[in-house]
């Protein structure tokens, strides 16, 4: 693997599993230093071990982080700056999915929880990271994981769909606002990706694939490869772009 990302300091929330984990492994593989900010400490320890086994050595560490707590997020960002000397990239990837529930059956607490993690949590990450990037004064990259359902919603998951719609438009707005600082802001858009929250729901994949033209599930590694391209500086004017790998789901 190349060393395109050598010297870059990256924070990935939700980096202990799924798409976040794939991004962490790929970035480390290309030479970056990574803080995994995760809420599942057992899984995070396993992922850190896997990274070290793959040769990451001192370039990876885990920081227990609940993205609904701004102080936790601040600690994760501060840790990257302290350990690696600066911050180049923050990827607000942590998010939760939900069981299929009719709109009328949602309770307010579940709605509030979804928005707290998936939308306000992304705001905390980008807000804390943008402050550092602007202060450093030499640009950087912000990303968040959105969803193909922000473009083409699915029934029975309204709080999730709403939270991801918020993420998409927040990042579009930030791409414009932060452009004068040379901070690029792009959204990762997975179609139906092979992660536990998706594959663990009975019948969800089978039903979902009916609306996917390629009729296949997307692998987290594919999204990680796209992220690595964007971070490589090969396309310094790429901002406000949807990094979409969805097997055609949102085209149909």
Partner 1 sequence: MGHYDLSSKTVLVTGAEVGIGRAIALRALADGANVAIAGINPEMRDETMALVRDAGFADRFVALSANIRDAGQVQKMVDDTVAKFGHLDAAIANAGVMVVRRPFLELTHEEWHNVIAVNLHGTFHTLQAATRVLKAQGLGGDLFVTTSSNAVRPSPMASAYVASKGAIQQMVRALAVELAPDGIRVNSIIPGLTLTPGTTSREGHIERGKRNIPMGEVTMPEELAALVAFALSGEAPHMTGTDLKIDGGRTSA
**Residue 252 touching partner 1 (CB under 8 A):** yes
**Residue 182 touching partner 1 (CB under 8 A):** yes
In terms of CB distance, is 15 or 191 closer to partner 1?
Answer: 191
State in angstroms the smallest separation of the CB of 173 from partner 1.
8
Selected binder of partner 1 within 45, 81, 96, 179 (CB under 8 A) = 179
In terms of CB distance, is 90 or 174 closer to partner 1?
Answer: 174
Selected binder of partner 1 within 54, 71, 176, 207 (CB under 8 A) = 176
Show contacts with partner 1 in window 189-228 (CB under 8 A): 191, 213-216, 218-219, 221-223, 225-226
How far apart are the C-alpha atoms of 120 and 118, rounded to whole Å?
Answer: 6
Catalytic residues: 160
User: What three-state secondary structure class fits 74?
Assistant: helix
Selected binder of partner 1 within 58, 102, 104, 180 (CB under 8 A) = 180
Alpha-carbon Rg for the chain in angstroms? 17
CA nearest neighbour of 95 among 56, 154, 149:
149
Show contacts with partner 1 in window 1-30 (CB under 8 A): 2, 4
**Residue 234 touching partner 1 (CB under 8 A):** yes
Burial of 183 (0-12, 13-18, 19+ CB in 10 A): buried
State in angstroms the smallest separation of the CB of 236 from partner 1.
7
In terms of CB distance, is 73 or 178 closer to partner 1?
Answer: 178
> Rule CB under 8 A: which residues touch partner 1?
2, 4, 172-173, 175-177, 179-180, 182, 191, 213-216, 218-219, 221-223, 225-226, 229, 232, 234-242, 244-248, 250-252
């Amino acid at each position: 693997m190349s060393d395109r990302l050598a010297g870059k300091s990256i924070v990935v929330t939700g980096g202990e599993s799924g798409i976040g984990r794939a991004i962490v492994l790929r970035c480390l593989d290309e030479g970056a230093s990574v803080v995994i900010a995760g809420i599942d400490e057992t899984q995070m320890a396993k992922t850190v071990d896997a990274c070290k086994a793959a040769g990451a050595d001192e370039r990876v560490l885990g920081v227990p982080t609940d993205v609904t707590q701004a102080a936790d997020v601040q600690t994760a960002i501060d840790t990257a700056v302290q350990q690696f000397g600066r911050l180049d990239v923050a990827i607000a990837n942590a998010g939760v999915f939900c069981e299929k529930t009719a709109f009328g059956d949602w309770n307010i607490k579940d709605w509030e929880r979804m928005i707290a993690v998936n939308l306000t949590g992304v705001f905390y990450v980008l807000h804390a990271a943008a402050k550092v990037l602007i202060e450093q004064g030499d640009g950087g990259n912000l990303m968040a994981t959105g969803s193909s359902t922000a473009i083409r919603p699915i029934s029975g998951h309204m709080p999730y769909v709403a939270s991801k719609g918020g993420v998409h438009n927040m990042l579009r707005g930030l791409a414009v606002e932060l452009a004068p600082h040379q901070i690029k802001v792009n959204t990762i858009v997975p179609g139906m990706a092979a992660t536990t929250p998706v594959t663990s729901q009975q019948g969800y994949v089978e039903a979902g694939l009916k609306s996917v033209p390629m009729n296949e599930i997307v692998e987290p590694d594919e999204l990680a490869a796209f992220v690595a391209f964007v971070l490589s500086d090969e396309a310094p004017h790429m901002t406000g772009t949807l990094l979409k790998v969805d097997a055609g789901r949102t085209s149909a």
